[in-house]
Chains A and B, each alone.
Chain A
Amino acid sequence: MTATDTHRAIDAVWRIESAKLIAGLARMVRDVGLAEDLAQDALVAALERWPESGIPDKPGAWLMATAKHRAIDRLRRNKLLERKHEELGYEIDTQQESAVADLEATLDDPIGDDLLRLVFIACHPILSTEARVALTLRLLGGLTTEEIARAFLVPEATVAQRIVRAKRTLTEAHIPFEVPRGPELAARLSSVLEVIYLIFNEGYSATAGDDWVRPALCEDALRQGRILAELAPREPEVHALVALMEIQASRFGARTGPSGEPILLLDQNRARWDQLLIRRGLAALARAEKLGGAMGPYAYQAAIAACHARARTAAETDWERIAALYAALARLTPSPIVELNRAVALGMAFGPAAGLEIVDQLTAEPSLKEYHLLPSVRGDLLAKLGRYDEARVENERAASLTRNARERELLLERAAACARDSRDQASNENPRLFSSGSNTSSPNT
């Protein structure tokens, strides 16, 4: 094995072991920041020694033993030992002799609980959203600062600082290393789910390109979701979020055309959807529903995604059900974006006039003023109703609002088509009601 090979292998070991390592250490030293530093020290030791000695048979146990020794050294050096003696020193001293055997037990047994505690602390509401995201990827995903920076297109120093600050905030606020109980649990869990979905969306919204990091971010988020579903198997919304991500990820191969242009949901080649991920998504949704969680916000979104996944062709989509699910979602988490999606579904299920009624109400919504999909959807519905002049104006407006060049092109093409249709209409007085153009305005891609 060359040195580079060994380094790559160490990276892989780190990715598998780091979260467990940090979680186990955090339980012992009761400080996530310190636990992470100790784990990093162990990694540095591995990078120094393993290229010569080879990778040990139980790399996780080796890293844990090394980190524990570092913990003792550090605590002695910092004279923290006296203060921490009762909670930590005794445990370590008595364990030192049969260190490895005990460590394996430590790593194997209550690690699930420790990991769950780590998940909750990394997503603690005391931290900013950016800090939660960075800390989650770093502590739980085993990503380096550089990898996180590349994924989020920010300078490495920014991420490094976010992580340092976040760790300090947690230490200073004496955030306990525990799984929240009772009424606090729901709010804290929703913060965790939000962070995971945010990471997923960061990767998902990036169009295909040369940068492999961003699609990998979706895989990282999915992985965290799957891990969380094992750690908290009785929480329906966790399964629902996993379902949503699995189904959305199943469309990866169909979401961009040969030259990287985005392809919207209804125009996608469904044969390219990953059936394995769809099956996994539907199974996760079924688990959420079985746990009584069919009416959570992620469950509704997953159910909508499942409607699309089950339709073999775009025409077979159950729009009535999708409209009803959006209505339920809007009652639970009211949002103009959800309403806009509901309008699209209503338009598909009951004709463009039904959709337009909702969209017209949304035009007064201040938060959608600059949102290009509002005029885009409205333009589409108007065109279907044969109101081509109004439709053209809306498409042009949408084109002026979008920041995506390809989308702008598409919208201007549609505006031009509206202008043509308007002229035809004037010449033969024969409006093409319910024209069957592709529904490129759907925001639910």
Chain B
Amino acid sequence: MKFMVIVKANKDSEAGVMPSQELLTAMGNFNEELVKAGVMLAGEGLQPSSKGARVKFSGDKRTVVDGPFAETKELVAGFWLWQVRSKEEAIEWVKRCPNPMEGESEIEIRQIFEAEDFGAEFTPELREQEERLRAQMAAKQ
């Protein structure tokens, strides 16, 4: 099963303060360990939200809001995609991660949906719709 492991932002990451050399090294080692264990599929760090934007939806209306965004601790500063056997395994790996920020920080673990997870609720019609959506997304790539 796959998980997205999300590193939450803090004041420093939002201010664009680069991590210390020490933290970069520790994080590099951790990433290496993940790769050696065959766990890590992908991972990226994100730029501060001041360089991003949001598109808000209200019915048919779309409004673009430029960053930065206020609720710092809810923002995403980086993520990994991992393939592991259980949520507990993902937790064990996260516990081995160096603190990704100076001081307080948080990492969130979320399981990625796979078609099987929808079970009976995922009717043929819904599946077909999802397939169409995916086809459209692929066509736009």
Contact present for B85 and A222 (CB under 8 Å):
no
Contact present for B138 and A271 (CB under 8 Å):
yes
Q: Is B127 an interface residue (CB 8 A)?
A: yes
Known: A13-B92, A223-B38, A272-B131. A253 touches B138 (CB 8 A): no
Task: State the interface size on chain A (CB cutoff 8 A).
Answer: 34
Contact present for A16 and B41 (CB under 8 Å):
no
Contact present for A12 and B86 (CB under 8 Å):
yes
CA distance A230 to B39 in the complex (A): 12
Interface residues of B in 62-90 (CB under 8 A from A): 81, 83, 85-86, 88-89
Q: Is A265 an interface residue (CB 8 A)?
A: no
What total count of A-B pairs have CB within 8 Å?
A: 73
Q: Is A270 an interface residue (CB 8 A)?
A: yes
Sort chain B's interface into a size bin.
Answer: 20 to 34
Contact present for B83 and A223 (CB under 8 Å):
yes
Least distance between B96 CB and chain A CB atoms (Å): 8
Q: Which residues of chain A are near B81, meaning CB under 8 Å?
A: 276
Contact present for A223 and B39 (CB under 8 Å):
yes
Contact present for A258 and B135 (CB under 8 Å):
no
Contact of A12 among B35, B92, B127 (CB under 8 A): B92
Least distance between B119 CB and chain A CB atoms (Å): 10
Contact present for A271 and B131 (CB under 8 Å):
yes
Binary interface profile of B, 103-141, with partner A (CB < 8 Å = 1, else 0)?
000000000001110000001100100010011011000
Contact surface of B with A, Cβ cutoff 8 Å: 1, 35-39, 41-42, 81, 83, 85-86, 88-89, 91-93, 114-116, 123-124, 127, 131, 134-135, 137-138
Contact surface of A with B, Cβ cutoff 8 Å: 8-9, 11-13, 15-16, 59, 112, 208, 212, 215-216, 219-220, 222-227, 230-231, 253, 258-259, 269-272, 276-277, 280, 312
Listed A/B pairs (20) with beta-carbon separation below 8 Å: A9-B92, A11-B88, A15-B85, A16-B92, A208-B116, A212-B116, A219-B1, A223-B37, A223-B38, A223-B39, A223-B83, A225-B38, A226-B35, A227-B36, A230-B38, A253-B114, A253-B115, A271-B134, A271-B137, A276-B42
